[in-house]
Amino acid sequence: AQTVTQSQPEMSVQEAETVTLSCTYDTSESDYYLFWYKQPPSRQMILVIRQEAYKQQNATENRFSVNFQKAAKSFSLKISDSQLGDAAMYFCAYKWGGSEKLVFGKGTKLTVNP
């Protein structure tokens, strides 16, 4: 069974600084997708960034980027120039190419200090 592990229950960062959230996953599949979702206090989950496993290039979305290490099954999220609005729960998620189910990690609570 595929599993997603986020080893950092909580993280904090100073405004304007950079923070990296860790995620590892376990799978025997070669075709899969990885995601980072953000859940602010309003509760609604929002997609931050997506990575296809077959792509070697790391995905980037403005201040958000990933470090995808396929051999190590690692998928970390880097947030640059952190802003107060980045404070939220961040969930790493996995989807096998032959399925539609998203499997989520337990989440990392990010606090941004002014």
Closest distance of CB 89 from other proteins, Å: 10
- Considering beta carbons, is residue 13 or 49 the nearer one to other proteins? 49
- Considering beta carbons, is residue 43 or 72 the nearer one to other proteins? 43
Size of the site for other proteins (CB under 8 A): 20
Number of H helices, E strands in the chain: 0, 12
Closest distance of CB 73 from other proteins, Å: 17
Maximum distance among all Cα pairs of the chain, rounded to whole angstroms: 43
Stretch that binds other proteins, among 14-22, 61-69, 74-82, 98-106 (CB under 8 A): 98-106
| Torsion sign across C-alpha atoms 4, 56, 99, 36 | positive
CB atoms closer than 10 angstroms to residue 75: 28
Measure Cα distances from 86 to 21, 41, 44, 73, 90 in Å.
13, 11, 14, 25, 10
Region 22-81 residues binding other proteins, contact defined as CB under 8 A: 33, 35, 42-47, 50
Binding site for other proteins (CB under 8 A): 33, 35, 42-47, 50, 91, 95, 97, 100-107
